[in-house]
């Protein structure tokens, strides 16, 4: 399963966000805004006809994937050749230069991005966006003093940019100047109260200092201003243990009442759960979007959206997921103060993806901040999950937060053994992952999120 932002919860370092454009398509002056991004751095029968069809589909899928990767490589080479090495900054193309530099910066091409930022600053020494962006490259290269100097210069020119204060606070935080970092995180929050990243970093700073009560205040403020904010809620839930408020922590992380398993009947059109599992596992393994190194998945592959064409067996799976969602909502405790109950959506959209894991495969601890409810259904499991001497290998784990959240208290972990025909459902703000397993067998699952629709 994945954390939908495409990056983790804490933001050590910032890059430029998407450029604001006018109706003409040009970037208006002083409209390059900053946003933080993570730098530090989820057997049925098969007759001869289906077998032959599956092989043809698999070959076709592999050919498509090969062509897709080749096209991406060619596009990247073309982009680098025409937008970086051969790009010269002039008085008349400063906005275009910043657009190119930002793209290179986001793609990790730091040398080329730095070269363009330097050219912009040679022409316009007081260009605040170039100063801030260049400062972040200095930061990424661990040249903290230079990064701080450039960020201070940017802020002296534009003091009301929340992103600039967030960037400076991040660098100060990393370089150990915590008191001043607190000041600039606070300034970023004051300038853009609905911008959640400064709350996250400030709360974690307090946790690292051993001041969990202050961290909880920050996370509460984030939720009071923004509303439903599952990162802040998840961080608060684990910070409560550090504050010796165990009963409050167990209330928010109540695995007994909110992690539920749902067994459903064989979907229409299939003889058994086994035949359905086999068909859906085959569909996922041959899916054209299946690729490695995605989201929180280690030693495995991850598909994109399964509820788009080609849907295949997901047509039947979607119906069973909807049944499970209705069942879960009806079985919730009568406790409107609990966030899982209070934030249960009246309207929602469903998103689903498949995961194929290999030897050593596992999901890193993560949450699903865009979801209200998350779930997983198992299609193929390695035999080691039944081995009591293998320490829960391949099992689902709750209660272990990301390593970027610096809590100090003992963890309260809960493990669940996957089983065929059984779907696990849980609040999307519960940190979860899986235990690595050692086996030549595959571990294949389909996961989903219930995302609120706000109208």
Tokens 């051969």 belong to 86
CB 124 within 8 A of CB 130: yes
| Residue 315: CA count within 13 A, CB half-sphere | 8
pLDDT at 21: 24
How are beta strands 373-380 and 443-452 bridged, if at all?
Answer: antiparallel
**Cα separation of 283 and 143, whole Å?**
48
Element of type H or E holding 291? strand 291-292
User: Alpha-carbon torsion 370, 212, 416, 330, what sign?
Assistant: negative
What topology does CATH give the domain 14-39+76-249?
Answer: 1.25.40
pLDDT at 282: 97
User: Alpha-carbon torsion 270, 274, 280, 286, what sign?
Assistant: negative
Phi, psi of 373 (to 5 degrees): -130, 140
pLDDT at 230: 95
CATH number of 255-452: 2.60.120.620
Q: Which residues contact 161 (CB under 8 A, 6 or more apart)?
A: 33, 34, 128, 132, 154, 155, 191
**Cα separation of 127 and 120, whole Å?**
8
Instruction: Domain ranges for the chain, please list them.
Output: 14-39+76-249, 255-452
pTM over 0.85: no
**Cα separation of 117 and 111, whole Å?**
10
- For the stretch 202-221, pLDDT in tens is 999 999 999 999 999 999 99
The one-digit pLDDT tens for each residue of the chain (455 residues) are 444 332 222 323 333 332 222 223 332 333 333 333 322 223 332 232 233 333 444 454 556 566 666 766 666 655 554 455 567 888 889 999 999 999 999 989 999 999 999 999 999 999 999 999 999 999 999 999 999 999 999 999 999 999 999 999 999 999 999 999 999 999 999 999 999 999 999 999 999 999 999 999 999 999 999 999 999 999 999 999 999 999 999 999 999 999 999 998 899 889 999 999 999 999 999 999 999 978 899 999 999 999 999 999 999 999 999 999 999 999 999 999 999 999 999 999 999 999 999 999 999 999 999 999 999 999 999 999 999 999 999 999 999 999 999 999 999 999 999 999 999 999 999 999 999 999 999 999 999 999 999 75
Element of type H or E holding 121? helix 110-123
CB 128 within 8 A of CB 15: no
Reduced to 3 states, what is the DSSP secondary structure of residue 199?
A: helix
**Cα separation of 411 and 399, whole Å?**
7
Element of type H or E holding 398? strand 396-398
- For the stretch 41-100, pLDDT in tens is 233 322 322 333 334 444 545 565 666 667 666 666 555 544 555 678 888 899 999 999
């Amino acid at each position: 399963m994945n954390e939908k932002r495409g990056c983790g919860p804490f933001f050590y370092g910032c890059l430029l966000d998407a450029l604001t454009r006018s109706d003409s398509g040009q970037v208006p002056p002083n409209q390059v805004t900053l946003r933080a991004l993570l730098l530090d751095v989820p057997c049925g029968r098969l007759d001869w006809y289906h077998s032959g069809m599956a092989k043809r589909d698999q070959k076709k899928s592999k050919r498509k994937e090969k062509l897709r990767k080749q096209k991406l490589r060619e596009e990247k080479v073309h982009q680098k050749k025409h937008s970086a090495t051969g790009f010269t900054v002039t008085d008349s193309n400063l906005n275009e230069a910043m657009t190119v530099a930002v793209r290179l910066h986001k793609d990790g091409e730091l040398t080329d991005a730095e070269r363009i930022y330097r050219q912009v600053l040679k022409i316009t020494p007081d260009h605040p966006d170039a100063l801030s962006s260049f400062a972040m490259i200095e930061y990424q290269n661990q040249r903290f003093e230079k990064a701080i100097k450039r960020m201070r210069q940017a802020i002296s020119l534009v003091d009301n940019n929340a992103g600039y204060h967030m960037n400076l606070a991040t660098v100060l935080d990393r370089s150990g100047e915590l008191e001043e970092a607190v000041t600039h995180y606070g300034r970023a929050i004051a300038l853009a109260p609905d911008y959640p990243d400064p709350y996250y970093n400030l709360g974690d700073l307090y946790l690292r200092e051993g001041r969990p009560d202050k961290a909880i205040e920050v996370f509460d403020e984030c939720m009071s201003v923004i509303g439903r904010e599952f990162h802040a809620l998840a961080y608060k839930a684990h910070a409560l243990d550090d504050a010796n408020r165990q009963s409050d922590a167990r209330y928010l992380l109540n695995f007994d009442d909110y992690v539920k398993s749902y067994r459903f009947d064989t979907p229409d059109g299939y003889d058994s759960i086994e035949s359905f599992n086999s068909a859906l596992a085959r569909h996922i393994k041959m899916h054209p979007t299946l690729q490695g190194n995605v989201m929180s998945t280690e030693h495995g592959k991850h598909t994109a959206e399964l509820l788009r064409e080609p849907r295949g067996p997901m047509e039947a799976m979607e119906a069973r997921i909807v049944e499970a969602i209705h069942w879960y909502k009806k079985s919730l405790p009568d406790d409107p103060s609990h966030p899982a109950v209070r934030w249960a959506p009246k309207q929602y959209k469903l998103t689903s993806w498949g995961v194929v894991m290999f030897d050593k495969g596992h999901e890193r601890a993560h949450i699903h901040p865009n979801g209200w409810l998350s779930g997983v259904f198992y299609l193929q499991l390695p035999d080691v999950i039944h081995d009591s001497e293998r320490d829960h290998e391949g099992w689902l784990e709750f209660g272990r937060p990301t390593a970027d959240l610096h809590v100090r208290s003992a963890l309260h972990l809960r493990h669940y053994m996957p089983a065929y025909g059984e779907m696990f459902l849980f609040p999307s703000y519960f940190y979860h992952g899986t235990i690595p397993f050692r086996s030549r067998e595959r571990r294949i699952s389909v996961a989903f999120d219930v995302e609120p629709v706000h109208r």
